Amino acid sequence: MAKKKVEEKINLDAILFKCRDILRKARNSGSFFEKRDMMLTLVFLRFIGEKFEDGVENLRQNLIKEGLDPDDEAIKAAFLDDPTFTDGTYNLPVDARWSTIIQTPAPKLNVALDTALHSIAASSKQLKGCFVEGTFTTRNLAPNDIKQVVDEVNKISHRVFGEEKDLIGRVYEYFLKEFAVNATKEEGEFYTPHDVVQLIATMIEPFDGTLYDPCCGSGGMFVQSTDLIREKRGDIRRINVYGQEKEAATYRLAKMNLALRGISHNLGEESDSTFTHDLFKGLYFDYIMANPPFNLKGWYDENLKNDSRWVDYQTPPESNANYAWILHILSHLKALKGVAGFLLANGALGDSDTLEIRKKLIQNDKVEAIIILPRELFITTDISVTLWILNQNKKGGAYHGRMLRSRAGEILFIDLRTWTENPVKNESKKKVLLSSEQIQKAADIFHTWQSEGTDGANYAVPELYRSVSKDEIEKQGWSLVPSKYIEFIDHDLEIDYAAEMSRIQKEMREVLKQEMKSQKMLEDAFRGIGYDIE
* Tens-digit pLDDT profile for residues 450-508: 999 999 999 999 999 999 999 999 999 999 999 999 988 755 545 565 665 566 567 66
68-87 mean pLDDT: 82
In this prediction, residue 9 carries a pLDDT of 46
Q: Can you say whether the dihedral through the CA atoms of 217, 218, 221, 226 is positive or negative?
A: positive
The conformation of residue 317, written as its DSSP 8-state character, comes to: P
Q: Letter for the amino acid at 6?
A: V
Write the burial class of residue 184 (CB in 10 Å: 0-12 exposed, 13-18 middle, 19+ buried): middle
At 344, phi and psi to the nearest 5?
-145, 155
DSSP codes joined into one string, 339-363: EEEEEEEGGGGT-GGGHHHHHHHHH
Helix extents (H) in 66-185: 73-75, 98-102, 109-123, 135-139, 143-153, 167-179
352 - beta bridge partners?
none
Query: Between residues 424 and 364, which one has the greater pLDDT?
Result: 364
| 299-337 confidence digits (pLDDT tens) | 998 899 889 999 999 999 999 999 999 999 999 999 999
The conformation of residue 229, written as its DSSP 8-state character, comes to: H
Distance CA 413, CA 480 (A): 8
- Checking 191-195 for CB contacts under 8 A at 24+ apart, the result is 191/217, 191/218, 191/220, 191/379, 192/217, 192/220, 192/221, 192/291, 192/343, 192/378, 193/377, 193/378, 193/379, 193/433, 194/165, 194/166, 194/220, 194/224, 195/377, 195/433, 195/434, 195/435, 195/439
- pLDDT band at residue 66 under the 50/70/90 scheme: confident
| 147-186 confidence digits (pLDDT tens) | 999 999 998 877 666 545 556 667 766 765 554 443 444 3
User: How many helices (H) does the chain have, and how many strands (E)?
Assistant: 16, 12
SS3 258: helix
Residue in 489, 486, 488 with CA at minimum distance from that of residue 476: 486
At 333, phi and psi to the nearest 5?
-85, 140
Average pLDDT, the chain: 84
SS3 388: strand
In this prediction, residue 505 carries a pLDDT of 64
pLDDT for residue 513 is more than 90: no
Q: Which of 13-17, 230-234, 373-377 has the lowest mean pLDDT?
A: 230-234
pTM: 0.79
Which helix (H) or strand (E) is 208 found in, with range? Answer: none
- pLDDT band at residue 13 under the 50/70/90 scheme: confident
Interhelix angle for 109-123 vs 143-153, to 10°?
50
Distance CA 184, CA 161 (A): 29
In this prediction, residue 137 carries a pLDDT of 92
SS3 239: strand
pLDDT for residue 242 is more than 90: yes
CA terminus-to-terminus distance, the chain: 78
In this prediction, residue 182 carries a pLDDT of 37
